[in-house]
Amino acid sequence: MPTHKTKIFNTSVDINYEKSDKEKLIELINNLNNRIKKFSHLNGKVSDIKIIILAALAIEDELLEKKNISLINKSLKADLIKNDLKIEKLNSEIINLKDELNLLESELKSKNRNDFSKEDQIEKISNQIEILNQSILSIYDE
């Protein structure tokens, strides 16, 4: 297992690592040193261990915030899935109602055609009755 020699907060450190993790290790070391630099104004005022503790607390704070954001995202994702299911159900209901509406409109058109046909028949019969009435009246008038 290779060893990486580095400085973390002005302290030489030898760190064993897997070959595949070298780039990740270097990035982590750089990130830690950058975090510690944020507290460089405290150098000489407080002990090194306190500066490292402050950096660790800042890391913990960031991790906690990311965890909370992750939980919120999971909750939002679950809500989105529920809403998608509701939308899908409503879309299905809309399609069924449209099909039912089309069927009812078709039945209404059919009934209207039947009604028009009956009206035509009634009018024809009425005309025939009128003709018969006139014929009967004309017979009496004679």
Q: Which amino acid is at 62?
A: E
| DSSP 8-state assignment for residue 2 | -
Mean pLDDT computed over 69-94: 98
Asked if residue 47 is part of any domain, the answer here is: yes
Residue 142 clears pLDDT 70, i.e. is over it: no
Share of the chain above pLDDT 90, in %: 78
Summarize pLDDT for 8-49 with one digit per residue, the tens. Answer: 988 899 999 999 999 999 999 999 999 999 998 998 899 888
Q: Which of 60-69, 81-90, 123-132 has the lowest mean pLDDT?
A: 123-132
Domain count within the chain = 1
Asked if residue 52 is part of any domain, the answer here is: yes
The CA-atom distances, in angstroms, between 29 and each of 7, 9, 26, 70 are 8, 10, 5, 25
Residues 1 and 15 sit within 8 Å (Cβ to Cβ): no
Asked if residue 71 is part of any domain, the answer here is: yes
Compute how many other C-beta atoms are within 10 angstroms of the C-beta atom of residue 36: 20
